């Protein structure tokens, strides 16, 4: 096999290019994708669903990829569609030195060796494309997805469920919302091997008992659909009440929690002491605040306030052997992501996942247990009074927590309004 040709093809082709290999002239004549090329060449078709589009030809002998194709060439006349990047990659990777292999791997592939990658989206197609371990959702993401035509059947099913449950309109809407969130979660779980995070209404962020009740209701809906609670993380706002709701759900009900809207070190300490499963400190929103409220308007990854915050939290957790794990969230650029390589988990938007998949720079673990153990951090204990004071002293965290709750609540209200309109149409027979 001509390795250098295969490497050149691999580097030249975009991610989704499809290769059409015509092994004989007779097959080529029968194919609706007619090629003027000799059978010893490759025809590259950018979209095999649209045969009328102009093909891209590459004058490369088929012998250059013969070895890679040998597993599928089993007849005299063969027309086959394959993802050429996926086909050539294993051959190339086993034929080059470890150093060169690292350079050829995408930043996303390298990141997955050090960190559990989570997709921050409600879009099933994005999840299918980037193959994350877990996925997270929130009211804003569900609102965006619920507006897409592809997911209207889930909205319709949820509305029928809410109406069938009966009760006052407000109760029907609440039941519909919970059913819709779980419906998206169920579809996501079909596409990932790990867990999905489903969020409790942000408007309950200061009501511990109501958060516990709604969380148990969400878990019941998952279990009715045959999903065990171990595959679900309940997202709660990291208020004092939310953290205590997380403690109760973990201790009394065995429900795993993901504490979101986390901006301060005080929030992180309280979550660790509550022994919740996971926290989601927000990286990008912290940087946003500093850019808006200080003279500095740009940051290198190593000086990014959000990166520094998550690094401190990770080091504190690992140094003192807390069981709670850290999942960095809310990224603004891939530099922030790569600066936190080695973190337990990172939840990343489809846009940044796409950038990382095309980036071939070297990714090395920046966070490690060894570094954490060696760092100079004192163990901290916070009761409610000390928590509230320490959190209050962090202006950025106070403002971003309240702002985050308001924004999630606003999107929940928008989603409710959409549901009410659709529900009224159903009741009126429209």
Residues 337-375 pLDDT 10s = 999 999 999 999 999 999 999 999 999 999 999 999 999
| Each residue's pLDDT tens digit, 120-162 | 998 888 999 999 999 999 999 999 999 999 999 999 999 999 9
pTM of the model: 0.77
Report the pLDDT averaged over residues 74-93. 42
| Each residue's pLDDT tens digit, 169-224 | 999 999 999 999 999 999 999 999 999 999 999 999 999 999 999 999 999 999 99
Give the residue numbers marked as catalytic: 235
CA–CA dist 42, 20 (Å, integer): 7
151: tokens are 């997911």
> Is a pLDDT exceeding 70 seen at residue 29?
no
> Is a pLDDT exceeding 80 seen at residue 308?
yes
CA–CA dist 19, 27 (Å, integer): 15
> Is a pLDDT exceeding 60 seen at residue 235?
yes
Is the distance from CB of 260 to CB of 237 less than 8 angstroms?
yes
Arithmetic mean of pLDDT over the chain: 83
If DSSP codes are grouped into helix, strand and coil, which group holds residue 330?
Answer: coil
pLDDT value at position 104? 79
DSSP 347-392: EE-HHHHHHHHH--S-------HHHHHHS--------HHHHHHHHH
Q: Count Cβ atoms below 10 Å from residue 251 Cβ, excluding itself.
A: 11
pLDDT value at position 35? 33
Strand order in the sheet with 56-58: 56-58, 42-45, 18-22, 79-83
């Amino acid at each position: 096999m001509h390795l250098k040709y295969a490497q050149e093809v691999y580097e030249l082709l975009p991610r989704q290019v499809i290769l059409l290999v015509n092994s004989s002239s007779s097959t080529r004549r029968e194919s609706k994708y007619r090629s003027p090329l000799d059978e010893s060449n490759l025809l590259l078709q950018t979209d095999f669903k649209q045969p009328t589009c102009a093909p891209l030809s590459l004058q490369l002998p088929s012998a250059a990829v013969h070895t890679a194709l040998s597993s599928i060439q089993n007849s005299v006349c063969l027309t086959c569609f394959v993802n050429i990047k996926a086909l050539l990659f294993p051959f190339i990777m086993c034929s080059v030195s470890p150093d060169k292999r690292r350079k050829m791997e995408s930043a996303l592939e390298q990141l997955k060796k050090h960190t559990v990658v989570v997709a921050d989206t409600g879009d099933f197609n994005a999840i299918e494309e980037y193959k994350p371990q877990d996925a997270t959702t929130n009211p804003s993401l569900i609102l965006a997805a619920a507006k897409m035509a592809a997911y209207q059947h889930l909205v319709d099913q949820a509305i029928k469920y809410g109406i069938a449950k009966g009760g006052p309109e407000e109760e029907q809407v609440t039941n519909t919302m919970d059913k819709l969130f779980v419906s998206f979660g169920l579809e996501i779980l079909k596409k990932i091997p790990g867990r999905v995070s489903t969020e409790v209404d942000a408007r309950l962020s200061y009501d511990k008992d109501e958060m516990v009740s709604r969380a148990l209701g969400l878990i019941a809906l998952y279990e009715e659909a045959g999903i065990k609670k171990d595959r679900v993380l309940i997202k709660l706002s990291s208020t004092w009440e939310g953290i205590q709701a997380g403690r109760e759900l973990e201790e009394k009900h065995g429900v795993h929690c993901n504490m979101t809207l986390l901006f301060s070190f005080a929030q992180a300490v309280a979550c660790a002491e509550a022994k919740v499963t996971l926290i989601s400190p927000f990286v990008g929103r912290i940087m946003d605040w500093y850019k808006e409220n200080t003279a500095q308007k740009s940051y290198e990854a190593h000086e990014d306030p959000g990166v520094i915050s998550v690094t401190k939290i990770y080091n504190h957790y690992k140094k003192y052997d807390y069981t709670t794990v850290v999942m960095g969230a809310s990224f603004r650029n891939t530099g922030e992501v790569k600066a936190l390589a080695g973190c337990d988990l990172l939840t990343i938007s489809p846009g940044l996942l796409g950038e990382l998949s095309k980036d071939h720079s070297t990714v090395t673990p920046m966070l490690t247990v060894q570094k954490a153990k060696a760092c100079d951090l004192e163990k901290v204990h916070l009761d409610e009074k000390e928590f509230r004071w320490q959190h209050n002293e962090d202006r950025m965290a106070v403002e971003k927590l309240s702002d985050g709750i308001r924004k999630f609540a606003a999107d929940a209200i928008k989603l409710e309004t959409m549901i009410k309109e659709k529900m009224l149409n159903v009741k009126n027979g429209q």
